[in-house]
């Protein structure tokens, strides 16, 4: 048997499972592979430059169907904690983003920005607005210690409007949709999680009440864009520094969380896990994305150490991750457990990961190393 013959079965499976187009509202991805959002801090002054456009275009040219950008700050003084993370407001930043969109579209990819507010994880005195105080649902950090201040109703209204304005701007700039960052312990997730939401008003209490702020952001964004413009919502159980945290302890609790979001206008849920192959609840091998799709009836994107031998936090400990097979990924997407797969570090290591995977050439994929995080080109 030749090397070509040996590779053919995997190539056929990958092609059949991952090369199918995916469409939602007016967005069509040419395949089921997305680039996961990864913070880079390569945008001085919050303005994405030509190098940012080339970075994303390189992945689109390498076969990625849908680019989800790094998190971008909405127009609220407390939204960010670095002046090198791109922002999604201001004529100068929008001009940069227009160049990014054009570059990705020229390579045949679709692209959506991820809209972000960091909440109480903001560092005191950090740019881009050094005097802005960290804000969150209850003025407590992810570890439960006092930090920042609880948000007033005016704060809530301002942030909701900032997300809606950014969604509308994304459509004007020619993006193919937008993703709302509701994961990993940032502002929206701080409202969803009982560990940081101790409010006693309409935005706190049980799971349904804790979902209200997120649902209002979704509804405002849905009202600000056209019917053809899809809304993605990124969610997670885990938080930075609280990896065992849970928004929902059972499928029933997850249903209570997802229903208001779906009704408000979420078209696709992007379910973030550290290892996509782990089951989310007992008595089923469905991962989080699988459960989200089953419960909500909406398409779902899975993510978490795809194509790597090891989970992603090893990278920040100076460790690399050898290339791993995707047999289990193919099995899960073949049975429609989820609809797309988002790939992170594997695409940093090899911008042609998608094309090589679709062709069954996984042996040619360049492995990831922590040194690559210093350039992210």
CA distances from 178 to 156, 221, 239 (A): 20, 9, 22
Query: What distance in Å separates the CA atoms of residue 95 and residue 49, rounded to the nearest whole number?
Result: 9
Q: How many Cα atoms within 13 Å fall on the side-chain side of residue 24? A: 23
- Partners of residue 308 on adjacent β-strands: 323
Query: What distance in Å separates the CA atoms of residue 237 and residue 185, rounded to the nearest whole number?
Result: 9
The number of residues in the chain equals 377
The position carrying tokens 């997300």 is: 163
Does residue 258 contact residue 296 with C-beta atoms inside 8 Å?
yes
Query: What distance in Å separates the CA atoms of residue 327 and residue 288, rounded to the nearest whole number?
Result: 18
Beta strands 110-116 and 178-184 are: parallel
Longest dimension (CA), the chain: 69
Query: What distance in Å separates the CA atoms of residue 274 and residue 254, rounded to the nearest whole number?
Result: 18
**Which tokens sit at 361?**
């050439």
Query: What distance in Å separates the CA atoms of residue 75 and residue 77, rounded to the nearest whole number?
Result: 7
Per annotation, catalytic residue among 55, 73, 186, 276: 186
Q: Alpha carbon 95 to chain centroid distance?
A: 23
Q: 186 catalytic, yes or no?
A: yes
Q: Alpha carbon 144 to chain centroid distance?
A: 25
- Partners of residue 146 on adjacent β-strands: 140
Name the DSSP letter for residue 132: P
Query: What distance in Å separates the CA atoms of residue 5 and residue 100, rounded to the nearest whole number?
Result: 39
End-to-end CA distance of the chain: 38
CA distances from 80 to 20, 41, 159, 233 (A): 37, 12, 12, 19
Active-site residue set: 186
């Amino acid at each position: 048997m030749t090397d070509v013959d040996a590779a053919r079965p995997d190539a056929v499976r990958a092609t059949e499972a991952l090369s199918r187009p995916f469409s939602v509202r007016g967005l069509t991805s040419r395949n089921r592979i997305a680039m996961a959002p990864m913070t880079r801090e390569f945008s001085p002054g919050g303005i994405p430059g030509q190098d940012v456009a080339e970075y994303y275009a390189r992945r689109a040219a390498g076969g990625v169907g849908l680019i989800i950008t790094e998190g971008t700050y909405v127009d609220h003084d407390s939204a960010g904690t670095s002046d090198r993370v791109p922002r999604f407001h201001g004529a100068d930043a929008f001009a940069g983003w227009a160049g990014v969109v054009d570059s990705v579209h020229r390579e045949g990819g679709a692209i959506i920005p991820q809209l972000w507010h960091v909440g109480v994880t903001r560092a005191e005195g950090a740019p881009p607005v050094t005097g802005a105080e960290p804000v969150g649902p209850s003025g407590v950090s992810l570890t439960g210690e006092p930090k920042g201040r609880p948000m007033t109703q005016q704060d809530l209204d301002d942030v909701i409007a900032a997300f809606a304005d950014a969604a509308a701007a994304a459509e004007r700039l020619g993006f193919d949709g937008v993703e709302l960052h509701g994961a990993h312990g940032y502002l929206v997730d701080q409202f969803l999680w009982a560990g940081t939401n101790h409010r006693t008003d309409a935005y706190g209490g049980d799971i349904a009440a804790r979902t209200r702020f997120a649902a209002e952001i979704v509804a405002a964004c849905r009202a600000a864009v056209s019917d053809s413009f899809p809304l993605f919502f990124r969610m997670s159980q885990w938080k930075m520094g609280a990896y065992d945290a849970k928004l929902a302890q059972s499928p029933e609790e997850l249903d209570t969380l997802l229903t208001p979001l779906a009704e408000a206008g979420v078209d696709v849920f992007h379910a973030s896990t550290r290892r996509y192959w782990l089951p989310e609840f007992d008595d089923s091998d469905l991962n989080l994305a699988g459960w989200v799709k089953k419960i909500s009836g909406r398409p779902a994107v899975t993510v978490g150490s795809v194509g790597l031998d090891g989970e992603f936090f090893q990278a920040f400990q100076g460790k690399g991750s050898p290339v791993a097979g995707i047999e289990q990924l193919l099995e899960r997407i073949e049975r429609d457990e989820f609809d797309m797969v988002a790939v992170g570090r594997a695409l940093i290591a090899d911008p042609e990961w998608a094309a090589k995977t679709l062709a069954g050439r996984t042996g040619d994929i360049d492995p990831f190393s922590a040194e690559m995080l210093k350039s992210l080109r």
